[in-house]
Amino acid sequence: MSKYFGTDGFRGEANETLTAEHAYKTGRFIGWYYGLKRADGRAKVVIGKDTRRSSYMFEYALAAGLTASGADACLLHVTTTPSVSYVVRTEDFDCGIMISASHNPYYDNGIKLINYYGEKMEEDTILKVEAYLDGITGEIQFAKGEKIGRTVDYAIGRNRYIGYLISLATRSYEGLKVGLDCANGSAWMIAKNVFDTLGARTYVIHNNPDGININQDCGSTHIEALQKHVMENGLDVGFAFDGDADRCLCVDEHGNVVDGDAILYIYGCYMKERGKLAGNKVVTTIMSNFGLYKAFDAAGIEYEKTAVGDKYVYENMEANGYRLGGEQSGHIIFRKYAATGDGILTAIKMMEVMLEKKMTLSKLAEPFTIYPQVLKNIRVRDKAAARNDEAVKNAIAIVEEKLGAEGRILVRESGTEPVLRIMVEADQKETCEAYVDTILQTIIDRGYQAE
C-alpha cells in the first residue's frame, strides 16, 4: 500500500506534510526513471498546476528535479487536471504531473502523477517513487553538460485541449444563458473561453484567483453560490467546478442541484436511447445514492459499484469496456473522450442532452429522486484502528439492523486525509442524522478523535 500517494496523488499541507523537497525528489526520480526508457535518455514530462500560491513553488521544484535528471519539463502553467491527461495521451510525453489538491483548501496541495495513457499512475511506479523518497533506492546520478534537461513553455498544449473541448459540442449554445462557477481555480480562464466560443451568454463567478481563495465558499463544494447566481440572473443552467476542474455539479433553471448521480442517470438514459451504452451498464461507487439505483432499475439500466475514487471507476470501465461512470461528487468519466473525470467536458455533455432532446435540465432529472443522505467526517489519529474497533463495529451493526432494507450505513476511510467518513441513507433525514451522530459519538468515546 502506498505511503505518500493516496487515491488522488500525494496530498497534504504545503511545507508540512508535502514539501518542496518532496517535489524535487519526485521530479528527480521521474526524470531518471523515464529517461531509462528513452533511446536518447531524455524523458519528456508535462506539468500543470492550479492557482494555489504553493503551486508555483512545487512547479519550480519539480522542474528542477526533472531537469537535474536530464528530462525536459514542459509547463502548461495554470490548467486543469484533465488537460494534463489529454496532452499526455495525445502527444509524445512519457508522463504528466498535475499540482493540485483538488477541492481542498488553499493551504493544502498535491502531486498527481499521470501515465503515458493519460490515466492515473500505476501502483508499481508509485511505489518506486516512494522508495526513492524514503532513501531506499539510493542516489541517482545528476545529468551533466548537454544532458541537463530543459524547461519549456508549453501553453500551446493547453490551447489544443481547449480546441478539443470545443470540437465535442454537437450544437451551438446561441441564446442560452449559462452560469459558470470556476472556484477561483484551474478553470478560471478555460471554461469561459469554451462556452463563449460555443455561443453561450456566460455569467461567470469566482474567476479571480489570488492564490488563497481557491474553493473558498465557491465551486462544486459550495454549490449554494451558483444556485443564487442562477436564480438572480434567470439563467438556463449553471455548472460548478472544483479547484482543478475534474469535477462538475450542475444547477437547473429553478436553482436545484443536479449532482453526479443525477448526471449519470441523465446521460446514462441518453446513451441507452441511442444504443450507445456499452454493456447496458453505468459504473458507480458505493457512495452513490439509493435513488440512483431505483431510477436505473426503472429505466432498465444495469450498474456496477466500485470503491470510492474515480481511479477505481476508471479501472472498472477500462477492464470491462464500459463508457460511462462516475461519482456523486461530480467526477464523471466519459471514457470515449477522456481517461479521467473532466468538469468542463461534463458540462458540455449535459448541454448536449438538453439541446438534442430539447428539454430543460430539471425535466431531464425529474424521474430521479434522491434519498435523504447525511455524511459527516471526523478527523482521527488512526483510521484503520478506529474503523476496526469492536465497539465501533458493533454500533455500525446495530444501525444496519435498524435500517434493514429501507436504508444503509457506510463508514469508510478517506484515501487522502486522516479522516473517517460516516454516511447514512434512509427515508427521513432525521433518522440519518441520528444514526450518523451515534457512530460519531462512539468513535469519540473510544478516544480516536484527533486533537
CATH number at residue 391: 3.30.310.50
Q: What is the pLDDT of residue 2?
A: 65
Q: Angle, to 10 degrees, between the axis of helix 190-197 and the axis of helix 343-357?
A: 20
Nearest to 383 by CA among 374, 395, 373, 392: 392
The answer to whether 244 touches 138, Cβ cutoff 8 Å, is no
Are 227 and 89 contained in the same domain? no
CB 249 within 8 A of CB 199: no
C-alpha–C-alpha distance, residues 25 and 183, integer Å: 30
Q: Which three cell numbers stand for residue 273?
A: 436511447
**Average confidence score pLDDT of the chain:** 95
User: d(Cα 242, Cα 346) in Å, to the nearest integer?
Assistant: 13
Instruction: For residue 172, indicate whether it is catalytic.
Output: no
What percentage of the chain exceeds 90 in pLDDT?
90
pLDDT of residue 359: 98
Q: How far apart are CA 300 and CA 281, in angstroms?
A: 10
Residue 102 annotated as lining a ligand binding site:
yes
Final residue belonging to a domain, choices 135, 157, 179: 157
Quick one: 179 and 87 in the same domain?
no
Q: What's the CA dihedral at 384, 385, 391, 394 to 10 degrees?
A: 20
Q: Residue 198's domain is classified under what CATH number?
A: 3.40.120.10
Kindly state whether residues 151 and 205 are assigned to the same domain.
no
- Low-confidence winner among 227-236, 267-276, 288-297 (lowest mean pLDDT): 288-297
Question: H or E stretch including 409?
Answer: strand 408-413
Domain membership of residue 78 as a residue range: 5-157
Residue 417 pLDDT greater than 90, yes or no: no
Judge if 350 and 202 occupy the same domain. Answer: yes
Whether residue 357 is contained in a domain is answered as yes
Half-sphere exposure of 271 (CA within 13 A, CB side): 25
> What mean pLDDT is predicted for residues 246-265?
98
Query: Do 321 and 425 share a domain, yes or no?
Result: no
8 is in an annotated binding site: no
128, pLDDT greater than 60: yes
pLDDT at 408: 86
Residue 329 labeled ligand binder: no
Same domain? For 178 and 326 the reply is yes
Q: Is 246 marked within a binding site?
A: yes
Establish if 235 belongs to a structural domain. yes
pLDDT of 1 higher than 60: no
Q: Is residue 164 part of a domain?
A: no
Scan for cell 489519529, then name that residue: 381
- For residues 259-276, average pLDDT: 98
Asked if 261 and 410 sit in the same domain, the reply is no
Element (H or E) spanning 233, and its range?
A: helix 224-233
- Say whether both 153 and 242 belong to one domain: no
354-409 residue pLDDT tens: 999 999 999 999 999 888 989 999 999 999 999 999 999 999 999 999 998 778 89
The answer to whether residues 77 and 159 touch, using CB atoms and an 8 Å cutoff, is no
Q: Is residue 450 part of a domain?
A: no
Q: For position 371, what pLDDT does the model report? A: 87
Q: Residue 345: inside a domain, yes or no?
A: yes
Is the pLDDT at 59 greater than 80? The verdict is yes
- Residues 319 and 356 both lie in one domain: yes
Residues 264-287 have a mean pLDDT of 97
Residue in 54, 55, 100, 102 annotated catalytic = 102
How many structural domains does the chain have? 3
Q: What is the pTM of this model?
A: 0.89
Residue 163 lies in a domain: no
pLDDT score of 129: 96
Judge whether 333 lies within some domain: yes
What is the layout of strands, in order, in the sheet containing 72-78? 5-6, 9-13, 108-114, 95-99, 44-49, 72-78, 151-153
What integer pLDDT is reported at residue 7 of this predicted model? 76
pLDDT over 80 (residue 416):
no
Q: What is the dihedral of CA 132, 135, 139, 142, to 10 degrees?
A: 60
Q: What is the pLDDT of residue 396?
A: 96
Residues 6+ apart with CB under 8 A from 401: none
Give the distance, in angstroms, between the CA of residue 81 and the centroid of all CA atoms in the same chain. 8
Question: Which of 101, 125, 157 is the last residue in one of the domains?
Answer: 157
Q: How far apart are CA 45 and CA 69, in angstroms?
A: 12
pLDDT at 314 over 60: yes
Confidence (pLDDT) at 144? 97
| 341 and 435 share one domain | no
By residue count, the chain amounts to 451
Amino acid 156: pLDDT: 97
Q: Report the largest interatomic distance among the alpha carbons of the chain, rounded to a whole angstrom.
A: 70
Confidence at residue 451, expressed as pLDDT on a 0 to 100 scale = 75
Say if residue 336 is in the same domain as residue 397.
Answer: no
Q: pLDDT band at 127, cuts 50/70/90?
A: very high
DSSP type of residue 372: P
Residues 148 and 228 in one domain: no
